[in-house]
A and B are shown apart, each in its own frame.
Chain A
């Protein structure tokens, strides 16, 4: 399908059956899994990696979005004239019909909700001011923002006021409601029960690079958008749909992406605004969202209210799990925060109830943020397990061990691979878990120390993904796909896979990402990037191996590829010589029956030591350790960094991060990085990360599972549990800021 020529040039695999043998284990180059430094590193550390707003297009005009100042209403008069009188302003572009109301969710093929004449949240971009300079555009946009007149309408701005109106949303990756056995009866009969409600606030991905687009149209009416996006293939479809263009009239480029964490899965309002303005002006337009606009007008992780009820026998065996959740979103948005996602498969228990209900609010869009579902769901579940262990007088690891099922408790299928207990045991040993004391038992000066742990589990997903690999006449390999590297290490691990498969030094592999002119990749999200995109490169290289073997006149299995040479039957030929003008192949992987026949997830265990100030309730993480099993680790260095990042997101979620909505208009009040507290360097101690050796033959041909989100799953709960161990206080309203702890601390 990508201009494929001879039969050797394509290789597709649908994961219908297990794939027991991976050629990566047979490679002679010995680069796979190795802690190789990022191949894109020198460009990044020297400032030469170009992010979305850094393409030097000639004659570019600057756009600045105008956000609404009301939460719900209709624009009656925009007053563009207040901008036009500002020197340097070229135009105020208004297109009430086409502008995006909000960002799109990840993977959608259609445009998100369009139309901005009726505004649905504070900050909704209603117009764009275009000027010769950034300074003029920003100034004029602010003047317009304050001048727009609205007919205000009554809005719903309080979660607590409307939570009773929560409704069951449609299926979205998981069923919104799931019921098995008889939870109420099991709870009534259980000798030990727990019934707790946990709340988590809205959060913001806060990627360091703000959402940005440069739109440029060519003479044939083809749009090129340089943007900061995670999933180019579907983003391209969304953008084409929004603008009413054919797909081949849209090209997206995102070679370097300054973080996404879910917020750039779908296109954001600035993309369409830039495209429309550029079309109207006949010149390229650059739009970078201000940080405040990122907070107000992209996407948040929904707040959640989660009630967990557990029923257990005296020996700790769970008989009932109920995890009932409520979250919020804009009217008409079906996306719900799948907080119960990992509750489906983490622990055993015959009777199960997992529900997700959705409250419609006139707050900004909610959608995916790193580990949607698990990140906040496990804050609740893993704290509840700790509370149950406390109730039972049982070690929390032992409780989890006793409920580690040998098959999926709902689907009656085996786990593809699962090392939860091994992760806990290894972590306990490395962390010194046996030294854990009673609450309030470890005071050092004004600081109470405590330790806690939590399990981690994150669904493993395979996505359709394609890549083309070429070996050129110099014996150099080139990997091409529209996959993105958002900091995840994709450039490097794809190079490692190609190098291993083709027997090349890593320096002889070039990876081109982030351009929709290349075959469509899975995109970065849901921890599927490395495994899906990596499998497509693997498959392309498998096809290339056959071509090479043919040219060598041997069977593939009889051939060794190493250091740029093809070795077989006592011959050693340079690859460059063998391939002539070059060979290429395209690989494509797609999910199949294996996703149904097995339950696939990565697992881990978190351990944290905190110090809680006895006077003020300030909490500091003193040390933290994670043990993870995620199938084959493709690059030990970049995989570790992914885990460090996830664990730190866990620190933020547990202790500091909260988007606050004004109760009067839903506005994100703390819309900047001074007041939305992501962890700083001093908040994060040296974190330890360990990997267990594992292969998953059901997941994909490279036997790896997702790791980008595993590190956050359960991390915050380990901290919450450590706080409880330090001061004997159980807080259930995240983040666990000192104001919630103060009145439960001992007197000074």
Chain B
């Protein structure tokens, strides 16, 4: 860990004001940031402690949705009655992630900002375009079992590790921020993350010093079923190989609503409108499910060790849709 200066903020506005060095970072739970700082993958010159900001409430919205403070710990969010009743996929996704200790510490905003996962990104002695643009990607020709098969580029095939963010995508969350100039900004989660392309070091659209203050969830789809399916190597405490968060509704024998997001497959929590288009308006049949899987995996590409993710994603999606649309 490199030395840094430290400041503690007592309001979001004060936090923004403390952003006054080249590499200031906010720290809340710190579960990913300190992990990476110890390895010198992250080397901020200043940390602004936002852990005590009054952003730890979950509030009702007029439309029947909820506004979640960015500092609500993952475990509190998962256990919140309103989340359990309206957004079961979110609660289950949170509970599928990390460990009890980490969920107690990790914040909602921080979870969205987890850095992507890759063995080589984590090792400063290995070339990595994400850590040091232009140095190359070691995952090609190296170990890539946990890495992405969708939306990859020749520069980076890292995966986003979050479970929570996958559910947030299925739920059409909106991220509320405070920018350095004091303006508020609303960012749909669908616009929040970036694909690696030729700038894999850029993982989201936040500007320097921009602070996530809240996450909004729109009212839940009434009568829909929600689920989170996670496939992993251990029974617990392991990153997803493939995960699916979903909100699916069947009316009069036809799928009337489908929102499906995927973890473990891409550089970001993945959602593809074509997958849902293949389902909505159709009877919940094998053919429809296959069409959805085809849409999901169109263009998917494995890199050796992770080839299995493609059939795994297909099989998991088929079975999950079968279960969720069945009686």
The residues of A with any CB-CB pair to B shorter than 8 Å are 69, 87, 135, 138-139, 142, 145-146, 446, 615-618, 620, 656, 660, 662-664, 667, 669-670, 674-675, 677, 679-683, 737-739, 742-743, 745, 748
Contact = CB atoms under 8 A, between A and B. Distances in A.
Contacts of A675: 119, 146
Interface in B300-327: 308, 311-312, 315-316, 318-319, 322
B238 A677 contact: yes
A616 B1 contact: no
A277 B242 CA distance: 48
Contact of A742 (B120, B235, B311, B322): B311
Contact of B312 (A146, A679, A739): A739
Given A616-B312, A674-B239, A680-B235, 8 more contacts: A656-B233, A675-B146, A677-B238, A680-B236, A682-B234, A738-B308, A742-B308, A748-B318
B113 interface: no
Contact of A662 (B1, B142, B232, B239): B142
8 contacts: A142-B40, A142-B124, A146-B125, A618-B232, A677-B234, A680-B234, A738-B241, A748-B322
A663 B142 contact: yes
A100 to B, nearest CB: 21
Contacts of A742: 308, 311-312, 315
Contacts of B237: 680, 682
A145 B125 CA distance: 8
A683 B232 CA distance: 12
A167 B277 CA distance: 60
Contacts of B231: 616, 618, 738
Contacts, number: 86
B236 A446 contact: no
A141 to B, nearest CB: 10
Interface in B226-279: 231-239, 241-242
Contacts of A617: 312
Q: What DSSP secondary structure best describes chain B's contact surface?
A: loop
Give the residue among B125, B142, B241 with the most A Cβ atoms within 10 A. B125
B141 interface: yes
Interface residues of B, number: 35
A620 B234 CA distance: 9
A138 B38 CA distance: 8
Given A146-B125, A670-B119, A748-B319, A664 B236 contact: no
Contact of A664 (B142, B241, B322): B142
A98 B100 CA distance: 45
A679 B234 contact: yes
B235 A683 contact: yes
Contacts of B146: 675
A282 B316 CA distance: 62
Contacts of A677: 233-234, 238
A674 B146 CA distance: 12
Interface string B123-144: 1110000000000000001110
A362 B20 CA distance: 47
Contact of B316 (A615, A670, A674, A680): A615
B3 interface: yes
B141 A615 contact: no
Contacts of B315: 615-616, 742, 745, 748
Contacts of A669: 119-120, 142-143
Nearest to B311: A742
Contacts of A618: 231-232
Given A139-B3, A682-B234, A738-B308, A670 B143 contact: yes
Give the residue among A616, A662, A680, A682 with the most B Cβ atoms within 10 A. A616
Q: What DSSP secondary structure best describes chain A's contact surface?
A: loop
A669 B139 CA distance: 10
B143 A616 contact: no
A743 B311 contact: yes
A681 B236 contact: yes
A99 B162 CA distance: 42
Contacts of A667: 123
A675 B237 CA distance: 10
B236 A139 contact: no
A73 to B, nearest CB: 13
B235 A682 contact: yes
Contacts of B233: 656, 677, 737-738
Give the residue among A146, A446, A618, A620 with the most B Cβ atoms within 10 A. A618
Which 8 residue pairs are nearest across A and B when measured between Cβ atoms? Answer: A739-B308, A682-B236, A69-B125, A682-B235, A615-B319, A669-B143, A748-B318, A669-B119
Interface in B23-56: 38-40
Contacts of B232: 618
A681 B39 CA distance: 28
Given A69-B125, A138-B38, A669-B119, A683 B236 contact: yes
A733 B109 CA distance: 41
B143 A662 contact: yes
Contacts of A670: 119, 143
Contacts of B312: 616-617, 738-739, 742
Contact of B2 (A139, A620, A662, A743): A139
Nearest to A672: B122
Interface string B143-169: 101100000000000000000000000
A617 B2 CA distance: 43
Nearest to A735: B233
Contacts of A69: 125
Nearest to A86: B3
A139 B143 contact: no
A86 to B, nearest CB: 8
B111 to A, nearest CB: 16
B316 A664 contact: no
A680 B123 CA distance: 25
A677 B232 CA distance: 11
A511 to B, nearest CB: 34
A87 B3 CA distance: 10
B191 to A, nearest CB: 30
A146 B43 CA distance: 15
Contacts of B316: 615-616
A145 B319 CA distance: 48
B147 to A, nearest CB: 12
Contacts of A682: 234-237
A617 B38 CA distance: 36
A660 B3 CA distance: 33
Give the residue among A667, A670, A682 with the most B Cβ atoms within 10 A. A667
A135 B38 CA distance: 9
B234 A656 contact: yes
Contacts of A662: 142-143
A250 to B, nearest CB: 33
Nearest to B314: A748
A620 B235 contact: yes
Contacts of A660: 143, 145
A670 B139 CA distance: 12
B319 A446 contact: yes
B159 to A, nearest CB: 12
Contacts of A739: 145, 308, 312
A683 B236 CA distance: 7
Contacts of B124: 142, 145-146
A685 to B, nearest CB: 10
A667 B119 CA distance: 11
A242 to B, nearest CB: 27
Nearest to B309: A739
Nearest to A662: B142
A233 to B, nearest CB: 37
Contacts of B239: 674
Contacts of A681: 236
